[in-house]
Structure 1
């Protein structure tokens, strides 16, 4: 079986960290590089967080590239503290050591180079705002044809949002880039929306079993979630939008990685036209799911609808066994 080649583009918060760990634990997978973008925190913190994750997993040989620090056009939105002040719960000691380990090459140039070196073989997984991807296709409009496929965690399919009433965080943080990517990346594109991940949440009891193991990964995840309000049982309160979908643990970005690693994890997808709204106060950043293709688009995306939670849980379990 040919080795699966990945590039992971991330705004490394806690859920990104878990998603990267799932990719690193998978058999017959090679992560060619991790490219960093602003989002859950500023891009410097994202770089530091990625190095923290790679260190825990003893995979610091994987190159990490610093990328976009702000949206393609703006306006630049204030960063949230959903995953703590640094994106990883605000409980880890800061260090400047990571700066010596980051590649000099810009993330956008790295994406183009790595794909050109492996045409038709690379799966690109996008876990944050899509700024790096939008810039990459602007520099090389032929990039999508050189990719094997694209997996995105972001957007919405029911008009529900967690950033505004109708927009999801990653797409809202850079609506123009989300628009560019969904219009111009004509490779097979698979989207794990916010509502999809929430509707496939896991129990808090399962989460406790995961993090209370004695492995280094379990101890790391337990630490970074220990003081993060998003992992509090009080998080599912009446003023939290996730209450729309019931209580539970949602490893948002891990769904996109799992789908890329094993397509059978996704049991149903809707193949349809999609477009991102870039105008309007409430609608900006919302992904429109056009099942009837009234937009007359030639490129249709796969919007994930249902998940084999048993398989997904098995992948999470395996990732927590990294010593």
Structure 2
């Protein structure tokens, strides 16, 4: 069994990623830690509990409240894309309450779970990296005790989706992204914004995916309606700025790669950092192809994936 610790800012694509992890037969999710990002922290916590409820996993997957704001700088939200509540503004009157959250804080829980399972835990982060940055500041040995780190975030071609040159998760806390990419020495795998766009799926597949007659599919169709509408309205822009149009479940790529070692079919090893000072480039991931940073630690930048396996994981998540 692979042991996963998942750090989220649960919007719609985080929900999709969590559901993939819940459906994976070879995975034990030790816990889910919540951070600010797509929506306010309290919404993230509620949304995570809602996803676990529909997956019937409230009893065995603990959820922890984490950082409510970035280390520095202004707070970013993605309400236009995910809805104000993060799940498409499609409320559930019977949603579980915040009393189900663990009393232990997210950062302390992360450190404890990794200490209890040294060398065994794969950490998957699909939101701003504030919790991870705080963990390494509290325990500098935290990264070396991880088995691996999988991130959805950053960009490789300076094509921003939030700022001129910044991807949302990194732009939402550039200092945290800088700390993680410069202080985490474990094997690190990054699903960047451009990578996700280049490996997207067709809307016809999305229709088939959502057409499954299950409680999970009905839930996903409900919360995904707002985001789908936004995506379809922006398709011309996406085609010009990235690699085409279609269904791009960004956070699912990181989860899929963490679950299946054969999922990524092409990647490149390169040293990276994050720009903190630029007027237009703050939060941009920098790839050091010239080895000017003289960093020993290289990350693995995902390039291509097995889309057949990806479709199967997504289909299975809603069954």
Please give the alpha-carbon distance, in whole angstroms, between the structure 1 residues aligned to 2:80 and 2:27.
32
Match of 2:288 in 1: 290
Deviations along 1:187-246, one digit per CA (max 9) or x if unpaired, are: 0000000000011000000000000110111111101112335555323134x5775321
In structure 2, relative to structure 1, the CA distance for the partners of 1:241 and 1:84 (3 Å cut) is farther
Report matched runs for 1:205-220 at 5 Å: 205-220=204-219
2-structure distance, mates of 1:70, 1:36? 11
Distance in 2 of aligned mates of 1:43 and 1:94:
19
Worse-superposed segment, 17-26 or 306-315: 306-315
Q: Distance in 1 between matches of 2:108 and 2:318?
A: 32
3-state SS, counterpart of residue 162 of structure 1: coil
Partners of 1:132 and 1:297 in 2: CA distance = 24
CA contact (8 A) 1:56 1:216 kept: yes
CA deviations 1:263-291 (Å, max 9, x no partner) are: 21111111010000011121000001112
Question: Normalising by the residue count of structure 1, what TM-score does the alignment of the two structures yield?
Answer: 0.95
**Does 2:130 match 1:131?**
yes
User: 67-76 vs 248-257, which deviates more?
Assistant: 67-76
Name the counterpart of 2:193: 194
Partner deviation per Cα, 1:67-87 (whole Å, 9 max, x = no partner): 000001223335543101111
Change (3 A) 1:74 1:208: same
Q: How far apart, in 1, do the equivalents of 2:160 and 2:9 lie?
A: 19
Aligned pairs for 1:44-59 (under 5 A) are 44-59=42-57
Query: Is residue 13 of structure 1 aligned with residue 37 of structure 2?
Result: no
Distance in 1 (CA, whole Å) between partners of 2:169 and 2:84 is 17
CA contact (8 A) 2:38 2:77 kept: no
Which residue is 1:69 aligned to? 68
CA contact (8 A) 2:39 2:77 kept: no
Secondary structure of the residue aligned to 1:115 is helix
Preserved CA contact (<8 Å) 1:47 1:98: no
After superposition, the CA RMSD in angstroms is: 1.5
SS of equivalent to 1:82 = helix
Q: TM-score, normalised by structure 2?
A: 0.96
Contact 1:277 1:286 in 2 (8 A): yes
Query: How far apart, CA to CA, are the structure 1 residues paired with 2:26 and 2:228?
Result: 36
Distance 1:223 1:80, change over 3 A: closer
Output aligned runs, 1:232-251, within 5 Å.
232-238=231-237, 244-251=242-249
8 Å CA contact retained: 1:162, 1:241: no
Write out per-residue CA displacement over residues 100-134 of structure 1, whole angstroms, 9 at most, x where no aligned residue. Answer: 10011110000000000111000000000000000
1:269 partner SS: strand
Could you say which residue in structure 2 is the equivalent of 1:309? 307
Q: Which moved more, 1:78-87 or 1:177-186?
A: 78-87
Instruction: Note if contact 2:40-2:77 (Cα within 8 Å) is conserved in structure 1.
Output: no
- Secondary structure in 1 matching 2:19: helix
305-314 or 46-55, larger mean C-alpha shift: 305-314
Q: Which stretches in structure 2 are left out of the alignment for 5+ residues?
A: none
In the alignment, structure 1 segments of 5+ residues that lack a partner are none
Q: What CA deviation, in whole Å up to 9, does each residue of 1:33-81 have, x standing for no partner?
A: 0000000000000000000000000000210000000001223335543
Find the counterpart in structure 1 of residue 139 from structure 2. Answer: 140
Alignment of 1:7-156 (within 5 A): 7-61=5-59, 62-77=61-76, 80-93=79-92, 97-156=96-155
Is the contact made by 1:175 and 1:276 (CA closer than 8 Å) also made in structure 2? yes
Q: 1:299 to 1:94 in 2, by over 3 A?
A: farther
